[in-house]
Amino acid sequence: NFFGMGVSGGEEGALWGPSLMPGGSRDAYKEVESIMKAVAAKAEEDNEPCVTYVGPGGSGHYVKMVHNGIEYGDMQLIAEAYDLLKQALGLSAQQFHEIFAEWNKGELSSFLIEVTANVFKKVDEESGKPLVDVILDKAGQKGTGKWMSINALDLGSAIPTITAAVDGRILSSQKEERVNAAAILTGPKKEYKGGSAQQLIDAVRDALYASKICSYAQGMSLLKKASEEYNYNLDLGTIAKIWRAGCIIRARFLNDITSAYNRNRELPNLLVDGEFQKAINARQESWRFVIKCAVEMGIPMPSMSASLAYYDSYRSERLPANLIQAQRDFFGAHTFERIDKPGIFHADWEEK
């Protein structure tokens, strides 16, 4: 039997145990289950190994791809939070270290927030400056985020936060073009006028968490759609559970995701879970304030803006797609449905 497996954990995972996402024959998994459980990282909360039988075929690798796409979203959202605070308040690396270290004690507690706090402590031996300040602003990528975006389009599942993160890396790689454009394209003055520094820091924290919820909601929705399309029969709550240790996106709030799917295995979207509703409702005012500040200062926040647009679209009972359908029927006779009676209709749009 051939048996595929997604593995996440980086260098530390190789030494101390990764999160394992095996997929293939269930019988084959039983043959290696004890080895997998011994190798896998153990969750801090209950010491459970971060491995489970994911599903048939290539489901393990698919889940790993989605993990990586969520990772893209997480990293981009953190970078956008940093960028706004840096440009609006002129914070030092030491101040950022203290902010992210504090955030890591609460709802944002995660490996990536911890890593970010530590990044700001590192001093470059050559220049004596914070190392992060001398790193070129060109982000690389291996392609898994792109794969996820392509597959989401194929399955008709919206993941705008993650796709914006992929686009963000592409735009970052166009350094020479951006330098030239900066010299000729105008924008607003980058001056923060929204209140105290602490008010903005607190608002960015709220916006980051709300955006993170949306990003994970998109990833889990894609897993649900793929499970139905490819007959993977994925257990989304258990998948969130095996991401609690060893992997790059390990975070405290994965326990909340597992709890949400334990409450309702058929949950259509994390946003409609009661606990996540409360979390976003309590933060949406700060979230909108942050996006407004960024727009007023001309600071790009593609993933955070995409998260808010996703949230507002998902909660909209009526969207302007009626106009799109009218346009499609006008030029291509693609037909439309009506709100007042069933059926498929076509209009003569150019009556004389």
Return the C-alpha torsion angle 204, 19, 156, 310, nearest 10. -10
Helix 59-89 to helix 302-314 angle (10° resolution) is 110
Q: What is the pLDDT of residues 18-67, one digit of tens each?
A: 999 999 999 999 999 999 999 999 998 899 999 999 999 999 999 999 99
Domain co-membership, 45 together with 64: yes
Residue 264 lies in a domain: yes
pLDDT for res 145? 86
* 0.85 surpassed by pTM: yes
The H or E element that residue 330 is part of is helix 321-332
Average pLDDT of span 117-145: 92
Residue 39, in any domain of the structure: yes
Look at residue 174 and tell me whether its pLDDT is greater than 70: yes
Q: 288 with 228, same domain? A: yes
Tell me the CATH number at 338.
1.20.5.320
**Same structural domain, 344 and 233:** no
- Residues with Cβ within 8 Å of 148's Cβ and at least 6 positions away in sequence, in order, are 65, 66, 68, 69, 72, 159, 162, 222
CB 4 within 8 Å of CB 53: no
Rounded Cα gap, residues 157 and 226, in angstroms: 9
pLDDT at 112: 96
pLDDT tens readout for residues 69-93? 999 999 999 999 999 999 999 999 9
What confidence tens digit (pLDDT) does each residue in 228-251 have? 999 999 999 999 999 999 899 999
Positive or negative, the Cα torsion across 110, 114, 120, 124?
negative
**Six token digits for residue 329:** 């029927």
Over 121-133, what HEC string results? CCECCCCCCEHHH
Among the listed residues 12, 64, 142, 351, the single catalytic one is 64
Between CA 253 and CA 251 the distance in angstroms is 5
Asked if residue 333 and residue 309 are part of one domain, the reply reads no
Mark whether 239 and 331 lie in a shared domain.
no
**What is the pLDDT, as a whole number, of residue 352?**
64
Q: Is residue 319 part of a domain?
A: no
Catalytic-residue membership of 64: yes
pLDDT at 269: 98
Q: Looking at the domain assignment, is residue 280 inside a domain?
A: yes
What mean pLDDT comes out for the span 272-288? 97
Provide the pLDDT for residue 9: 83
Q: Is 2 exposed, middle or buried (0-12, 13-18, 19+ CB in 10 A)?
A: exposed
Position 14 scores a pLDDT of 78
Sign (positive or negative) of CA dihedral 133, 135, 140, 144:
negative
| Same structural domain, 204 and 300 | yes
User: In whole angstroms, how large is the CA radius of gyration of the chain?
Assistant: 22
Active-site residue (options: 12, 37, 71, 125): 71
Split into its structural domains, the chain has a count of 2
Average pLDDT over the chain reads 95
**Domain range holding 298?**
4-314
122 is a catalytic site residue:
no
